[in-house]
């Protein structure tokens, strides 16, 4: 068993887990933050995307002990003072979700995408970067539209989806 400490959503947390515990399970089971979903356990679906030290990562592909000392942001850490993050608000406004299972991973991926690409973000880039996130309900059109709208609001996107 390993004792690990990390910062999650701005708060220092500690816990004990088996050395082989995946970060996604540590977040959900030890910390009770269930917004990060387990979809495939093979790092193909993107439902488990979180930010680790400022980069989006699939938390099913990292051991919790590897994240010790890191700064983690989960979907629960995006909204501030009861206000949705601009990406969350855009997903709501542009109907970028249906069942909602993939939404946390999509939103976390989108936040990272906007941060990295800024004004270079366009529809082709969004579609390309979403290849690691699977949504079984939509055709991705409204997801792309929501990401571009959020990027525009945050000072980023060049071209909105029609």
Average pLDDT per 10 consecutive residues for the chain, totaling 162 residues: 97 97 97 95 91 96 98 97 96 93 96 90 96 89 95 72 42
Q: Are residues 55 and 93 in the same domain?
A: no
Task: For residues 112 and 152, state if they share a domain.
Answer: yes
Q: Are residues 92 and 38 part of one domain? A: no
Distances in Å between the Cα of 78 and the Cα atoms of 20, 85, 108 are 28, 6, 9
Distance between CA atoms of residues 62 and 80, nearest Å: 27
Q: Which domain holds residue 10?
A: 2-77
Q: What is the pLDDT of residue 119?
A: 74
Predicted confidence at residue 41, as pLDDT, reads 74
Domain count, the chain: 2
Residue 12: per-residue pLDDT: 98
Reduced DSSP (H G I as helix, E B as strand, rest coil) percent helix, strand, coil of the chain, to 5: 40, 20, 40
Question: CA–CA distance from 93 to each of 25, 86, 96, 127 (Å)?
Answer: 31, 10, 8, 19
Whether residues 73 and 90 share a domain: the answer is: no
Domain containing residue 97: CATH number = 1.10.150.120
pTM score above 0.85 = yes
**How many angstroms separate the CA atoms of 82 and 61, rounded?**
31
């Amino acid at each position: 068993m390993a004792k690990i400490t990390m910062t999650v959503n701005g708060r220092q947390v500690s816990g004990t887990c088996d050395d082989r515990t995946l970060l996604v399970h540590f977040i959900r089971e030890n910390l009770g933050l269930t917004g990060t979903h387990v979809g495939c356990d093979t790092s193909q679906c993107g439902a488990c995307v979180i930010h680790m030290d400022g980069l989006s990562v699939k938390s099913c592909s990292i051991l919790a002990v590897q994240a010790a000392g890191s700064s983690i942001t989960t979907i629960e850490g995006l909204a501030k003072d009861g206000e949705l993050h601009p990406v969350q608000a855009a997903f709501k406004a542009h109907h970028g979700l249906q069942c909602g299972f993939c939404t946390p991973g999509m939103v976390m991926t989108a936040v990272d995408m906007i941060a990295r690409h800024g004004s270079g973000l366009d529809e082709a880039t969004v579609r390309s970067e979403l290849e690691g996130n699977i949504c079984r309900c939509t055709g991705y059109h409204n997801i792309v539209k929501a990401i571009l709208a959020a990027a525009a609001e945050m000072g980023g996107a060049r071209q909105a989806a029609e």
